[in-house]
Amino acid sequence: MRKTKESKGNKGDLDFAEKRTANALYKKRAGVTESFHPVILLVYFVGMAAVTMVTLHPVLLGVSFIGAVFCTGMLTGMRKLLKSLAYSIPMLAVIAVINPMFVHKGETILFFYNNNPVTLEAILYGAAAALMIVAVFYWFKCYSIVMTSDKVIYLFGRILPRLSLVLSMTLGFVPKLKKQYKKISAAQKSMGMYASNSVTDRVLSRFRVLSALVGWALESSVETADSMSAKGYGLRGRSSYATYSWTRRDLFILVFVLLALGVLTAGMSLGAGVGFYPAFKGISAGLWDIVAYAGIAVLGLFAGLMELWENIKWRLFVSKV
């Protein structure tokens, strides 16, 4: 049964996609961060990523990295975190090593490689840049986990209601299209169309199925459009239903996050300067440096600590019951 094997393979591809989807989107989570108002999540996670992107200061990056990894761990669980670290730490090392191969500035020459000096400063610079990239990666990973599709739609809906509706419709479409793709694929195979195991047939059959799918989707979506019109789409003054409302806790957190971001920004712009060439200088302890260190420590660990505290609280709560 060549065919069954192949259809299985095909199914596998989409299932891979589905698993990604499930991980990224739909798994039930009980994280407390997730219950924050979407605006807070946007400000906090994008803010952390942005702050991380604009510095090469080892202390700031180190704390940011720890905060991001801590938060990811709290959100995904230890096992998944370790798995992803197994990928990202070697990546970090590779980026760190690449820089000294290109850059030969710096006064501390460690050794010569291909008649070029390899300097400590270049290695440090590479390490800092790598740490930055990995930290940003983890902040966005957290962001992707907590910012579910509903929240994306909500945020868009506040400023761009029509675009947010198209977004919601598309998100409804994708699983539907996926199901239909599988059905068409099976039906075509059971007619023996492009069903051999050769690479060309396997690729060509995907094109055919995709093309049939477009036809089906366009034709059947007309009914969807009619259903929209029937429910009054196109009337003037469309509103966007908000399932998220501001609680007092949310307001406190927002004020806190904004204040901390402000302090951190001030600290970073007035202190926490860093230079790598010709000699590394940066880890100083002036007033503004300390403000910046404090700011990033408070802000960077905030989400992870909130999650941890919530866990402890539930443990205590359960033990009391």
For the bound state, the minimum distance from the C-beta of residue 307 to another protein, rounded and expressed in Å, comes to 20
Three state DSSP letters for the chain: CHHHHHHHHHHHHHHHHHHHHHHHHHCCCCCCHHHCCHHHHHHHHHHHHHHHHCCCCHHHHHHHHHHHHHHHHHHHCHHHHHHHHHHHHHHHHHHHHHHHHHCCCCCCEEEEECCEEEEHHHHHHHHHHHHHHHHHHHHHHHHHHHCCHHHHHHHHHHHCHHHHHHHHHHHHHHHHHHHHHHHHHHHHHCCCCCCCCCHHHHHHHHHHHHHHHHHHHHHHHHHHHHHHHHCCCCCCCCCCCCCCCCCHHHHHHHHHHHHHHHHHHHHHHHCCCCECCCCCECCCCCHHHHHHHHHHHHHHHHHHHHHHHHHHHHHHHHHHC
Whole-angstrom distance, CA of residue 67 vs CA of residue 73: 10
**Nearest-10 Cα torsion for 32, 35, 38, 44:** -20
- Residue 174: C-alpha distances to residues 13, 52, 156, 168, 241 (Å): 15, 34, 19, 10, 22
**By C-beta, is 90 or 172 nearer to another protein?**
172
| Least distance between another protein and beta carbon 47 (Å) | 11
Is the Cβ of residue 28 or residue 248 nearer to another protein in the bound state?
Answer: 28
Taking the least distance from each CB to another protein, the nearer of 14 and 305 is: 14
Nearest distance from C-beta of residue 24 to another protein, angstroms: 6
Q: Take residue 113 and report the two structure tokens written for it.
A: 């490689």
Q: Which is nearer to another protein, 73 or 267 (CB)?
A: 267
Least distance in angstroms from the C-beta of 152 to another protein: 7
Nearer to another protein, 49 or 296 (CB): 49
State the minimum distance, in angstroms, from the CB of residue 206 to another protein.
6
Q: Judged by CB, which is closer to another protein: 46, or 305?
A: 46
Closest CA to 300 of 162, 122, 94, 142: 142
CB of 309 to another protein, least distance (A): 26
Q: Please report how close the Cβ of residue 103 comes to another protein at its closest, in angstroms.
A: 10
CB of 181 to another protein, least distance (A): 7
Nearer to another protein, 186 or 305 (CB): 186
Q: Which residue lies nearer to another protein by CB, 199 or 285?
A: 199
Instruction: Provide, rounded to whole angstroms, the least separation between the CB of residue 268 and another protein.
Output: 7
> Based on CB atoms, which residue is closest to another protein, 74 or 209?
209
